[in-house]
Structure 1
Amino acid sequence: MILIRQIVQQALINGYLSVEAENQLRQLLQTTKYGLEDINAFMKLQQAVIAGMVRQKSRELSA
């Protein structure tokens, strides 16, 4: 099973969050019991998006 922190790590490495990865995150956050490590990773991703270090494909499509 893929973990939230794995998706976040890939996005941070690539500087890019695909629509598929975003949907996976959404699903995992709604249906999975996750630990502190995953919560911290998700917060790190949010900060990276805000800082412009990670781009979101879904935002580019809607612009």
Structure 2
Amino acid sequence: MHMVLIRDIAHNAITTGSLSLANEQKLRLMLKQKYEQEDLEAFMNLQQAVILGKVKQQSRQIAS
């Protein structure tokens, strides 16, 4: 069984341009656990993509 990694969620969000509520929650939980440097870098890339408007957060769309 393949365990989903932070980098998998980040890559998917950057590729699709969207971060779902479910994946946002998974990221929060995963970041509280032990993770690899590659996952941290992927998360930082995702944050940058959100800041630049390349990725929309579903949670932000619901709030507005």
TM-score grouping bracket, smaller chain normalisation: over 0.9
More helix by share: 1
2:25 aligns to what SS in structure 1? helix
2:4 aligns to what SS in structure 1? coil
The aligned residue for residue 62 of structure 1 is 63
Q: TM-score, normalised by structure 2?
A: 0.94
Give the C-alpha shift of residue 47 in structure 1: 0.2
1:36 partner amino acid? Q
* CA RMSD across the alignment: 0.5
Deviations 1:21-57 (A, max 9, x none): 0000001011x21011000000000000000000000
Structure 1 stretches of 4+ with a deviation exceeding 4 A read none
**1:24 and 2:11 correspond:** no
Aligned length: 62
- For structure 2, the residue ranges without an aligned partner over 5 or more in a row are none
Identity %: 50
The aligned residue for residue 14 of structure 2 is 12
